[in-house]
Amino acid sequence: MIVIVGFMGAGKTTVGHLLAEKLGLPFVDADLVIEQRTGRSVREIFEADGEPAFRGIEHQVTADLLAGQDAVLALGGGGVEHSATQQALRASQVIYLQVGYEESMLRVAHDEYRPLLRAPDLQAIFRRRLASYEAVATQIVATDGRRPEAICLDILGRLAELPSAPPG
Ligand code: S3P
């Protein structure tokens, strides 16, 4: 399993799609699976049930996906703050797409579907999460000023250098 983590706007979905295509694996977006399973948008869940409820669903879906079919899996930006998710990620290759706060805001600031963008302390949330991204990462990839195709090639190069997993 290859898992992509990082803050909103890091390029998890765009790079994840490219990577999945190159590796011949399915691409899975955890937020989309949450929406399919609940029949509601992430924004609706935040508004109706609150963020803690969303985080519970997010963890359950992530744990199920990690135990499932091999894929390139993109997590939502806050998924790695859940301690049980951090544990569950230990068996995977975890690619952390690093993005600066300013660049992240340039990429997503006008998106109405990301409820967390309305958080008054968003920059503090960003800073707090950096430690979680670093803790779960097996690869850290800078993205500021880089095109998704270049980022994808960078990741493929790193994956090719890894010792292959022992059989069984
Ligand atoms: C969130 C990021 C979103 C989504 C939800 C909460 C976050 O995913 O899971 O809106 O807490 O950072 P993306 O990182 O794909 O935007």
> For 14-37, what is the mean pLDDT?
98
What does the radius of gyration of the chain's CA atoms come to, in whole angstroms? 15
Domains of the chain, residue spans? 2-161
Determine whether the shortest distance from the Cβ of 115 to ligand 1 is under 6 A: yes
User: Residue 163's pLDDT is what?
Assistant: 85
> For 59-64, what is the mean pLDDT?
97
Kind and range of the H or E element at 8? Answer: none
CATH number belonging to the domain at 2-161, selected among 3.50.50.60, 3.30.360.10, 3.40.50.620, 3.40.50.300: 3.40.50.300
Spatial separation of the C-alpha atoms in residues 64 and 25, rounded to whole Å: 17
Instruction: Place 18 in a pLDDT band, splitting at 50, 70 and 90.
Output: very high
Q: Which tens digit of pLDDT belongs to each residue from 122-167?
A: 999 999 999 999 999 999 999 999 999 999 999 999 999 998 765 5
Cα–ligand 1 centroid distance for 30 (angstroms): 10
